[in-house]
Amino acid sequence: MTEWRYRELALLAVTFSLVVFGGFLRFHDLGHKSLWTDELFSVDIALFRDFLPPSAADGEVFRRTQIPGINSHDTFLTLKAADQSPPLNEFLMRLSGKVLGFDEYSMRLHSAIAGTLLLIFIAVLAVRERDHVGRRALILALFFSAFSPALIEYAQEARAYALGSTICFIAFWFWYVRWRDSGAELGRPPIFVDYVLWLAAAYTHYNALIFVSILAAFDAYAAVRRSNWRVIRSMVLLLVLFLPWLWLNYHALVFSAQGGIGWAKQSFFSAFSQSVPLTMKMLGEAWSFLFIFAAWLVVLQRNRGAEDLGGKKRLLVLTLIYVWFLLICYVVGRSGVFHSRHFVFLIPVVYFWAATTISAIRSASVAFLLVLVFSAGIPESIKNLYGAMKEDYRSASNHACSMIDSDVPVVTTWAPNSNFYKFYLRQCAAKGPAAHYSLSTPAEYPGLCDQVGTARRVVFEYPDAHTGVVDGFRAVCGQQFSQKERTRFYGVSAEVWNR
């Protein structure tokens, strides 16, 4: 057997092993943990909301409202349009649930599949790559992606982040190849698959839309320079295909831009100063050094090999990363909805850029040392990931169900969330509850007190964030009940009052 054949078999073994291990980490205990608040909100849309109301008396097909104004009769379109993200994630959850049944595993399955498809895509690229340095870069990017704690975490959630990060990277790759291999200052025009990926990203998450819009902006600039009206018409058509959703959702976007759902609106500079450590926490503390090193490499070092973008094009990729990062800082600062997960769409592209940079280093020992530094914290992060639980609604609902009878009402907090409690409380639907009430504000205390005041027992379920509203209700109405017992389950409480 020739040396070339041994090398090819070794490559296949490495890439196959990384895909298998990475896929295992994404599917391992996928349904073990309880769904948490954000997941349950998506489950409410996917599972409990029909596209059409049962009858005209039960509501409209679509009405404009904000999240605080939604009710149990609202349809899929009404609730999703009140949300701050497009609907592809919930469509896939609905499809998975229809096929496999509605449980934690089926609700998260599309995310695990999307996360694994990212690994398969990078592995296929590595196997097909003929340049040795470029192949090393892709294998290293596959390694980083396979064992990334952040990518594993979001591949195990019933949210849009794993799907969006996979679509964004694949869209980036097609764009990257067109600009890398064009042989000219401007990249080759986009092809059909580019438009499909851009539209899929747009319907997955608005932060993913911002990312592919940057890619499209480069191509639009090239099309204008070349007077390529076919590309321009295709981009206009793409916008037309997305306009129906924008029309349905614009009121929620305006609401968010005005800080309507935000924890606290911030200036751009405040959002930027918080985003840098948050992003580095997701990518590993050593990544701050990587960006400095990458900028130095682009400006000062000349490398040979097909993997190199060649001066300006190499800098183009780094520019893409920073432009997207700055735009997201502006968006999260403007809306006030600020979390590290908003940057997850950037992670696979950064991994590829890191791998390309490290693979271009001529010193094998320096490159190996950098890989060790960047990977040092991965095992502990993955261990903590599997040990942590955000909120345990399942155990809280099991405990609540054990205390519910046909004459016992249940009270949950915040009216917009009242529907998603059904996912776990439906297990005791045969025996109760007598009624399901929602408690949102102190103004509702007197009316709710009248409604539950004659019951022999009242059961409550609520997350820790809503403890204050239940404590306030207890102070107003609790004296009517002699026994009160609260049990906590990882961020969610089940409470029973007995007369």
Output the 3-class SS for 294-348: HHHHHHHCCCCCCCCCCCHHHHHHHHHHHHHHHHHHHHHHHHCCCCHHHHHHHHH
| Structure tokens, 155 | 């591949």
- Using the structure block, give the residue that is written with the tokens 């450590």: 277
- With contact defined as beta carbons under 8 Å apart, do 115 and 152 qualify? yes
pLDDT tens profile 418-445: 888 989 988 887 777 888 999 999 999 9
pLDDT tens profile 453-477: 888 999 999 999 999 999 999 999 9
Residue 3 clears pLDDT 70, i.e. is over it: no
- Whether residues 428 and 371 share a domain: the answer is no
* pTM score of the predicted model: 0.91
Q: Please name the residues in contact with 68: beta carbons below 8 A apart, sequence gap of 6 or more.
A: 415, 416
| Beta strands 457-463 and 492-498, pairing class | antiparallel
- Whether residues 95 and 149 share a domain: the answer is yes
Q: How far apart are CA 301 and CA 309, in angstroms?
A: 13
- Whether residues 250 and 210 share a domain: the answer is yes
Distances in whole angstroms, Cα of residue 410 to Cα of each of 21, 43, 391: 44, 20, 19
Domain extent, residue 219, equals 3-387
* Residues in the chain, overall count: 499
- Whether residues 444 and 320 share a domain: the answer is no
**How far is CA 124 from its chain centroid?**
24
- What are residue 436's DSSP bridge partners? 410
- Whether residues 381 and 412 share a domain: the answer is no
- Whether residues 359 and 443 share a domain: the answer is no
Region 446-450: mean pLDDT is 92
Q: For residue 207, which of 13, 339, 119, 101 has the smallest C-alpha distance?
A: 339
User: Computed from CA positions of residues 248, 418, 39, 256, in that sequence, does the dihedral angle turn out positive or negative?
Assistant: positive
pLDDT tens profile 214-270: 999 999 999 999 999 999 999 999 999 999 999 999 988 888 777 666 556 677 777
- Whether residues 258 and 358 share a domain: the answer is yes
Q: For residue 182, which of 218, 213, 130, 151 has the smallest C-alpha distance?
A: 218
Q: How far apart are CA 433 and CA 405, in angstroms?
A: 6
Q: What torsion do the CA atoms of 53, 254, 201, 388 make, to the nearest 10 degrees?
A: -80
Last residue of a domain, one of 336, 371, 387: 387
| Structure tokens, 29 | 């205990």
Residue 313 clears pLDDT 80, i.e. is over it: no
Q: What is the CATH number of the domain that holds 443?
A: 3.40.190
Domain count, the chain: 2
φ, ψ for residue 475, nearest 5 deg: -65, -30
- Whether residues 372 and 397 share a domain: the answer is no
- What are residue 489's DSSP bridge partners? 492
- Whether residues 244 and 107 share a domain: the answer is yes
Last residue of a domain, one of 357, 387, 417: 387
E strand or H helix at 77, and its extent?
Answer: helix 76-82
- Whether residues 128 and 241 share a domain: the answer is yes
pLDDT tens profile 349-387: 988 888 887 887 777 777 777 777 777 777 777 777 777
Q: What pLDDT is recorded for position 283?
A: 66
φ, ψ for residue 65, nearest 5 deg: -155, 165
- Whether residues 345 and 480 share a domain: the answer is no
Q: What pLDDT is recorded for position 495?
A: 94
Of 100 and 118, which is predicted with more confidence?
Answer: 118
E strand or H helix at 366, and its extent?
Answer: helix 364-375
Count Cβ neighbours within 10 Å for each residue of 305-331 and write b for 16 or more, e otherwise. eebbbeeebbebbbebbeebbeebbeb
pLDDT tens profile 185-202: 778 899 999 999 999 999
- Whether residues 331 and 416 share a domain: the answer is no
